[in-house]
Amino acid sequence: MCGIVGYAGHRQAADVVIEGLRRLEYRGYDSAGIAVVEDGKLRSAKRAGKLVNLVEALAEGAPLPGRVGVGHTRWATHGPPTDPNAHPHTDCNGHLAVVHNGIIENFAALRAEAAAAGHELASDTDTEVVAHLLEAEMAAADADGTQLARPGSLAEAMRRVCRRLEGAFTLVAVDIRDPGAVVGARRNSPLVIGCGEGENFLASDVAAFIAYTRRAVELGQDQVAEIRADGVTVTGFDGVPARVTGYRVDWDVSAAEKAGYEYFMLKEIAEQPRAIADTLLGRIGADGNLTLDEMRLPADELREIDKIVVVACGTAYHAGMIAKYAIEHWCRIPCEVELASEFRYRDPILTRSTLVIAISQSGETMDTLMAVRHAREQRSRVLAICNVNGSSIPRECDAVLYTRAGPEIAVASTKAFLTQLVGCYLVALYLAQLRGTKYGDEARDVVSQLAQMPNAVDVVLETMEPVRALARELASEGCVLFLGRHVGFPVALEGALKLKELAYMHAEGFAAGELKHGPIALIEGGLPVVVVVPSPGGREVLHDKIVSNIQEIRARGARVIVIAEEGDHEVKPYADTLIEVPHVPTLLQPLVTTVPLQVFACELATAKGHDVDQPRNLAKSVTVE
User: Among residues 227 and 311, whose Cβ is nearest to ligand G6P?
Assistant: 311
Q: Does 316 contact ligand G6P by CB under 6 A?
A: yes
Residue 31 C-beta: closest distance to ligand G6P, Å: 19
Q: How many residues bind ligand G6P (CB under 6 A)?
A: 15
Between 486 and 515, how does the x/- string for binding to ligand G6P read (CB under 6 A)? ------------------------------
User: Among residues 530 and 618, whose Cβ is nearest to ligand G6P?
Assistant: 618
Q: Does 188 contact ligand G6P by CB under 6 A?
A: no
Residue 313 C-beta: closest distance to ligand G6P, Å: 4
CA–CA separation, 373 vs 351, rounded Å?
14
Residues 259-288 that bind ligand G6P (CB under 6 A): none
Q: Does 410 contact ligand G6P by CB under 6 A?
A: no
Residue 380 C-beta: closest distance to ligand G6P, Å: 19
Q: Does 361 contact ligand G6P by CB under 6 A?
A: yes
Q: Does 315 contact ligand G6P by CB under 6 A?
A: yes
Residue 601 C-beta: closest distance to ligand G6P, Å: 12
The single-letter code of the amino acid at 487 is V
Q: Which residue is nearest to ligand G6P (CB)?
A: 314
The region of 130-138, 321-329, 342-350, 614-622 touching ligand G6P under the rule CB under 6 A is 614-622
What is the chain's percent helix, strand, coil content, to nearest 5?
A: 40, 25, 35
Q: Does 193 contact ligand G6P by CB under 6 A?
A: no
> 409, 251 in Cβ contact below 8 A?
no
354-360 vs 381-386, strand pairing mode: parallel
The single-letter code of the amino acid at 515 is L
CA–CA separation, 348 vs 438, rounded Å?
29
User: Among residues 30 and 568, whose Cβ is nearest to ligand G6P?
Assistant: 30
Q: Does 535 contact ligand G6P by CB under 6 A?
A: no
Q: What angle is formed at CA 56 by the lines to CA 53 and CA 60, rounded to 5 degrees?
A: 140
Spell out a b/e string for 398-428, using b for 16 or more CB atoms within 10 Å of the CB, else e.
bbbbbbbbbbbbbbbbbbbbbbbbbbbbbbb
Q: Residue 223: phi, psi to the nearest 5?
A: -120, 155
User: Among residues 491 and 523, whose Cβ is nearest to ligand G6P?
Assistant: 491
Q: Kindly tell me which residue out of 131, 412, 457, 460 binds ligand G6P, with binding defined by CB under 6 A.
A: 412
CA distances from 47 to 85, 194, 470, 531 (A): 9, 27, 39, 44
Q: Output DSSP code: residue 585.
A: -
Residue 339 C-beta: closest distance to ligand G6P, Å: 10
- Residues with active-site annotation: 2, 620
Q: Does 411 contact ligand G6P by CB under 6 A?
A: yes
Strand partners, 336: 309
Q: Residue 32: phi, psi to the nearest 5?
A: -145, 150
The region of 213-221, 355-363, 522-530, 580-588 touching ligand G6P under the rule CB under 6 A is 355-363
Q: Does 368 contact ligand G6P by CB under 6 A?
A: yes
CA–CA separation, 168 vs 426, rounded Å?
33
> 299, 293 in Cβ contact below 8 A?
no
Task: Give residues with Cβ within 8 angstroms of 337, minimum separation 6.
Answer: 309, 310, 311, 312, 317, 320, 321, 323, 324
Residue 314 C-beta: closest distance to ligand G6P, Å: 3
Q: Does 618 contact ligand G6P by CB under 6 A?
A: yes
Q: Does 622 contact ligand G6P by CB under 6 A?
A: yes
Q: Kindly tell me which residue out of 44, 123, 365, 389 binds ligand G6P, with binding defined by CB under 6 A.
A: 365
The region of 23-31, 203-211, 312-320, 579-587 touching ligand G6P under the rule CB under 6 A is 312-320
Q: Which helix (H) or strand (E) holds 31?
A: strand 31-38
Q: Output DSSP code: residue 121.
A: P
Instruction: Point out which residues bind ligand G6P (CB under 6 A).
Output: 313-316, 360-362, 365, 368, 411-413, 618, 620, 622
